[in-house]
Copies of this chain bind each other. A is one copy, B any other.
Amino acid sequence: MISPAYADLGAKLRRAHLLSTVADLLSWDEQVNLPPASAEQRARQMALLAELQHAAASDARIGELLATLEATKTTLGADELIVVRQARRDYDRMARLPSEFVSEKATLSSQAYHAWAQARAQNDFPGYAPFIEKHLGLAKREAAYLGFGDSPYDCFIDQMDPGLTAATVGRLFDELKQGLVPLEKKILAAPRLSPGLLRAFPVEGQQAFLREVTERLGFDYQRGRIDVSLHPFCSGTGADTRMTTRFKEDEPLDSLFSAIHETGHGLYEQGLPLDEAGTALGMHAGMGIHESQSRLWENQVARGRAFWRYFEPRFRARFPQQTAAISSEVLYRAVNAVEPTPIRVDADEVTYNLHIILRFELEKKLFAGDLAVRDLPAAWRESSRELLGLEPATDREGVLQDVHWSGGAFGYFPSYCLGNMIAAQFWYAALAALPGLEDDFARGEFSRLLGWLRTRVHRQGRRYEPLALVREVTGEDLSPRYLLRYLQERYGSLYLASSAS
């Protein structure tokens, strides 16, 4: 029987969660619909919602209920214990942050966002630097409030991926870098595709094709939609999942793969237990796991030959003229083009991870005090030369390219690369567990994979911390070697003579 205290706790958690869904919608609308001169009101709405969310999540009644439940732990079931443990974690975090601090951070984020957009447009890092500086100050204060005064960067890594530390991430990234840099060098030395093969794909046709693909993968449009925004993203929850993409007539694969990536996020949200929204049982396990779901569908699935066996004729049927002169092999190579670029969001899946390692290393130095904000542009260029073999022509293509720091979202970048590692490790586990899986794909059948992910990952909610979930699903500790193996297999056969079949 559910105790009254547990039921009351659930109601409080659902209320805080419901407020966060409203904030999500405001943010989605800001990026999809907001008229250009309406940003100021939206900033005030967002700051008010942040304040209300904080008040709801740090409600002293939650503290009382948690104390009651923790004192009678022996009467709780296993799932209830998990919910109470996570609620304690979230409550303590919220209760330790003063309300003024939360408002200050929300207000700064809104100002910094516009400062960033302007600085990027004008290639003016010094105009943006004071905002990063302020965010860094707030981040250190936040870490101190939350008991991470000695290791502030860990505070944010842990917020994104519970249980992880900068040291653990650093070890994983170093191991990855050792395998990745030589692989990248070999690929980049090999002959590559000339760009510009894909031209004049009408947006309407692109929209229809990506709708067909994402529905086939399992996205439920009864509870979600896809719109257009400057940068693709997925927000909302399983009750109302909002994805976006962007369209360029000459880059049909960009909108398609963006949409498939967001579909991976959306499938995860739609697979979390809806009845448990707001509790650990209905919560995603961390940003790395979230990213693993987008990457797995985008890369392991949709860049594979089996996927294209099914979808290539459909793609050609929608765009007969545009694809007439393109052979299957050339199309497949375009899907898997590797080309170094200074821009993370345009990067292929081989070099992408190096973009992340670059950001992780700079963030680590910023927090350790080994790098001043004003020296970021130079440090960025140096790392870029070292890791990617190129230097951004301008700060606009370098240190100013990403929005994250304007929101104070430090420690977020590593999740992208962790997600790639986790996706690859999940992928080999799925291949082992589901014989003939890729034959499914060639028939346009993706439900066995989705079902496996639903059971193993989605329905687990936040029962496990990310590293523990990886062990549960794959039987092994998280390791970069699966990502390296996957990249070697896919790109080796395409680009490296010695591995070509």
Chain B residue at minimal CB-CB distance from A237: B41
Q: Is the CB of B35 within 8 A of A19?
A: no
Chain B residue at minimal CB-CB distance from A225: B35
Chain B residues, Cβ within 8 Å of A18:
41, 44-45, 48
A185: Cβ under 8 A from any B Cβ: no
Chain B residue at minimal CB-CB distance from A236: B38
29 contacts between A and B (CB under 8 A): A18-B41, A18-B44, A18-B45, A18-B48, A19-B48, A21-B41, A21-B45, A22-B26, A22-B48, A22-B49, A25-B25, A25-B26, A25-B29, A25-B45, A29-B29, A33-B225, A34-B240, A35-B222, A35-B223, A35-B224, A35-B240, A35-B241, A37-B220, A37-B223, A38-B223, A38-B240, A40-B239, A42-B240, A52-B52
A195: Cβ under 8 A from any B Cβ: no
A435: Cβ under 8 A from any B Cβ: no
Contact of A38 among B35, B38, B42, B239 (CB under 8 A): B239
| CA–CA, A49 and B29, complex, Å | 17
A window 13-40: CB within 8 A of B:
15, 18-19, 21-22, 25-26, 29, 33-38, 40
Chain B residue at minimal CB-CB distance from A23: B22
A window 231-268: CB within 8 A of B:
237, 239-241
| CA–CA, A274 and B29, complex, Å | 21
Chain B residues, Cβ within 8 Å of A48:
15, 18-19, 22
Chain B residues, Cβ within 8 Å of A101:
none
A221: Cβ under 8 A from any B Cβ: yes
| CA–CA, A52 and B42, complex, Å | 18
Extra 6 A-B pairs, beta carbons < 8 Å, given A18-B41, A37-B223, A41-B239? A19-B48, A21-B45, A25-B26, A37-B220, A37-B222, A41-B237
| CA–CA, A225 and B36, complex, Å | 10
Q: Chain A: interface secondary structure?
A: helix
Q: Is the CB of B22 within 8 A of A22?
A: yes
A475–chain B nearest beta-carbon distance, Å: 36
Chain B residue at minimal CB-CB distance from A19: B48
| CA–CA, A221 and B33, complex, Å | 12
| CA–CA, A240 and B26, complex, Å | 13
Chain B residues, Cβ within 8 Å of A222:
35-37
| CA–CA, A135 and B13, complex, Å | 30
| CA–CA, A44 and B25, complex, Å | 14
For the side of the interface on A, what is the size category? 20 to 34
Chain B residues, Cβ within 8 Å of A221:
35
| CA–CA, A40 and B18, complex, Å | 12
Chain B residues, Cβ within 8 Å of A15:
48
| CA–CA, A22 and B44, complex, Å | 10
Chain B residues, Cβ within 8 Å of A49:
22
Chain B residues, Cβ within 8 Å of A34:
240
Chain B residue at minimal CB-CB distance from A45: B22
| CA–CA, A48 and B55, complex, Å | 14
A33–chain B nearest beta-carbon distance, Å: 7
A204–chain B nearest beta-carbon distance, Å: 11
Q: What per-residue 1/0 map shows which CB atoms of A347-360 lie under 8 Å from chain B? A: 00000000000000
A window 181-235: CB within 8 A of B:
220-225
Which of A34, A45, A220, A241: most chain B Cβ within 10 A? A45
A106–chain B nearest beta-carbon distance, Å: 13
| CA–CA, A199 and B44, complex, Å | 46
Chain B residues, Cβ within 8 Å of A36:
222
| CA–CA, A19 and B51, complex, Å | 12
Chain B residues, Cβ within 8 Å of A240:
34-35, 38, 41-42
| CA–CA, A221 and B19, complex, Å | 29
Chain B residues, Cβ within 8 Å of A22:
22, 26, 45, 48-49
Chain B residues, Cβ within 8 Å of A29:
25, 29
Chain B residues, Cβ within 8 Å of A45:
18, 21-22, 25
| CA–CA, A220 and B38, complex, Å | 11
| CA–CA, A49 and B45, complex, Å | 13
Chain B residues, Cβ within 8 Å of A26:
22, 25
Q: What per-residue 1/0 map shows which CB atoms of A41-61 lie under 8 Å from chain B? A: 110110011001000000000
A86–chain B nearest beta-carbon distance, Å: 21
A window 445-479: CB within 8 A of B:
none
| CA–CA, A19 and B47, complex, Å | 11
Chain B residue at minimal CB-CB distance from A274: B41
| CA–CA, A222 and B39, complex, Å | 10
